[in-house]
Amino acid sequence: MTVDDSATGVKSARRVLEILEIIAQSSEPTSFLDLMNGLHYPKSSLHGLLSTMVDMRWLTLDSASRSYHIGVRPWEVGQSFQPSRDLVIRARHYLREVHSELGETVQLGILDAGSLDVVYLDKIEGIRALRLVSEVGARIPAYATAIGKCLLAARPDEELQHTFAGHKLERYTTNTVRDGDKLLKVLKTTRKRGYALDDGEYTSGVFCVAVPIRALDGTTIAAMSCSVPQSRIDLHELEPTFVFGVLKKQAEALSSTLGETFTKGLVPLVWR
């Protein structure tokens, strides 16, 4: 990974954020050499940035292994993202209800409008094993997920056209929608029927359905989904059981508890 120094913004600020992202995403301790190899910054610049980040508690340095870890400051700053935290607290009961009725993996996510990624805020594992990459805090390209398509469908048409029309999209499985124009048609259908589907488009063998969660003023602020192995899904029961029988019922019940304050601090989406 390298920073595009021609991009707008302050170079040193971009580099600090790149360092944080690499360390946060790593499942292993991150050494100075790992960062040097991954970022290709001048050695003196990287050393100075790391020293400052440790001094200000954004990172911690393990003196024994000489490896870097995320410090306490990112957590403290993250607590200021109050609306999302409140949403997770309020949504937990309704996620449990879905899980209780279906016994499958249930997830809550929002859209990062800057990157058009889904960010997963909460997840309850199904009673049967199902391997998913959508851990809490993970981000996945929205176009390849049910939650993402549910939220993208709420974006203005002109924005969707600008973003996807004529574009080729990255493939994750053989089922991924790679053509931007085809995706626009999928999003139009999603908007019309009021729920989104992911038929093994990011994770092979996994079927997912998602419905929107709205604030008091009708703004779509998040989405709730249920993931099932493709081998267990009965398409004849999809709408009566999964969508209208359980997911929409719980999403609407959750939506009825949300005030207009939930339109502030979360990604502003309008379900049209």
Q: Both 207 and 246 in a single domain?
A: yes
Q: Are residues 137 and 166 in the same domain?
A: yes
Give the total number of structural domains in the chain.
2
Indicate if 105 and 15 belong to the same structural domain: no
Alpha helices in 199-244 (DSSP H): 235-237
Question: The tokens 């600020």 sit on which residue?
Answer: 13
89 and 204 part of one domain: yes
Domain boundary pick from 40, 58, 76: 76
Exposed/middle/buried for residue 252 (C-beta within 10 Å: 0-12, 13-18, 19+): middle
Give the Cβ contact number of residue 84 at 10 Å. Answer: 20
Q: Are residues 183 and 132 located together in one domain of the fold?
A: yes
Same-domain status, 151 and 51: no
Phi, psi of 129 (to 5 degrees): -60, 135
**Residue 214: its H or E element:** strand 206-214
131 and 249 part of one domain: yes
| 146 & 192 share domain | yes
Q: Give, for all 272 residues of the chain, the pLDDT tens digit.
A: 344 444 445 788 889 999 998 998 887 889 999 999 889 899 999 999 999 999 988 999 988 889 999 888 887 676 655 556 788 888 999 999 999 999 999 999 999 877 789 989 999 988 876 666 667 878 899 999 999 999 999 999 999 999 999 999 999 999 999 999 999 999 999 999 999 999 999 999 999 999 999 988 888 899 999 999 888 888 888 899 889 999 999 999 999 988 655 655 454 443 33
Same domain, 150 and 211: yes
Domain that holds residue 254: 81-270
**Pairwise CA distance, residues 155 & 114, whole Å:** 13
Report DSSP letters for 36-84, one per residue.
Answer: HHHH---HHHHHHHHHHHHHTTSEEEETTTTEEEE-SHHHHHHTT-HHH
Q: Residue 201: helix, strand or coil by DSSP?
A: coil
Contacts of 194 (CB under 8 A, 6+ apart): 211, 212, 248
Report the CATH number that the domain containing residue 115 is assigned in CATH.
Answer: 3.30.450.40
Q: Sign of torsion, CA 127 130 135 138?
A: negative
